[in-house]
Chain A
Amino acid sequence: MRIHRYRTPAVVPTASMADIAFLLIIFFMLTAVYSSTRGLEFAFPKDDPNQTNVQPQEAIHIKITGDAQYTVDRTPMTIQQLAGYVDQKMKQAPDKPVIIHALPDVPYYSMIDVFDVLRQLKVQNVSVPTQTEIERWRFFGYLE
């Protein structure tokens, strides 16, 4: 007598695979933080005695006095005028240092706006003095 064997076909159970996968998707979607990883870079000058320091008298002095209010070399300007002025000065002397002096009460974005304009104009020598340095410069009579 011939014996009939019933063979079940070999299958991989893939039905639950999608469930597991979607669970993982939800986890990654919830934990994903689209944080900005880009920004403006700058370096503090090295404390090297051989390096020439920024001479405040020769520099373009940008003073941020309020929300989108700028005084460049004692002349009030808009951000567009500031860009034109600095660009013109850079053509004459590309190494000319630029000092960004933001008053304590101005919003941070005003300073970033100026910094961004200077970066776009490819200004090499940008100095952002801290309040302590400004006090020191004022003491030596470099600033009004």
Chain B
Amino acid sequence: MKIHRERSVTAVVPTASMADIAFLLIIFFMLTTSFSPVKTSVDLPESVERAEVEQNAAIVAITTQNQIVFSDGDNPGFNVNSADELGPHIQSLVRAVPNKQFVIKADRAVRYQSVDAVLDQLRRNGAKNIGLLTEQKRAPAGS
């Protein structure tokens, strides 16, 4: 009698579900990626209370070297030499959108006078709505 040997199963790596996993990850990264117009890296101060800033708020970044980067929220940021130069930009934005939010993204170690100069320009040029970017503080202060 002839013995039928079972045909050897070919070795395959199941790759069909690989694409599903990969696309799931792509969707995750697509949703979490925010194309921030100001990519200046700063070490933000920490606070317990935090509120979400508006999506297309104008951003003023201040680094420890007192470098100021400004963006209207839609276009990429550009360097300005001093806070005084921000005046005309702020004025034109406020004229277009009176309640435009201006977000200050300043390094935690920056001297207050740099922030004060920016705040002064914002106030003089009619900005009303200000946000100060912070990181989440773990232990609540004052307790």
Contacts and interface: CB of A to CB of B under 8 A. Distances in A.
Interface residues on A, range: 35 or more
Interface residues of B, number: 57
Contacts of B86: none
Interface string B1-38: 00000000000000110110011011001101111100
B140 to A, nearest CB: 7
B80 interface: no
Interface in B96-142: 103, 106-117, 119-120, 122-123, 127-137, 140-142
Contact of B53 (A25, A39, A113, A116): A39
A109 B45 contact: yes
B93 interface: no
A17 to B, nearest CB: 4
A21 B26 contact: yes
Nearest to A42: B130
A38 B134 contact: yes
B111 A107 contact: yes
A54 interface: no
Contacts of A32: 29, 32-33
Interface in A23-47: 24-25, 28-29, 31-44, 46
Nearest to A12: B16
Contacts of A37: 34, 52-53, 133
A92 B6 CA distance: 90
A107 B119 contact: no
A14 interface: yes
A132 interface: yes
Given A18-B15, A33-B39, A107 B110 contact: yes
A38 B53 contact: yes
Interface in A86-130: 102-113, 115-117, 119-121, 128, 130
A15 interface: yes
A132 B2 CA distance: 104
Closest 4 CB pairs of A and B: A21-B22, A83-B142, A28-B29, A104-B113
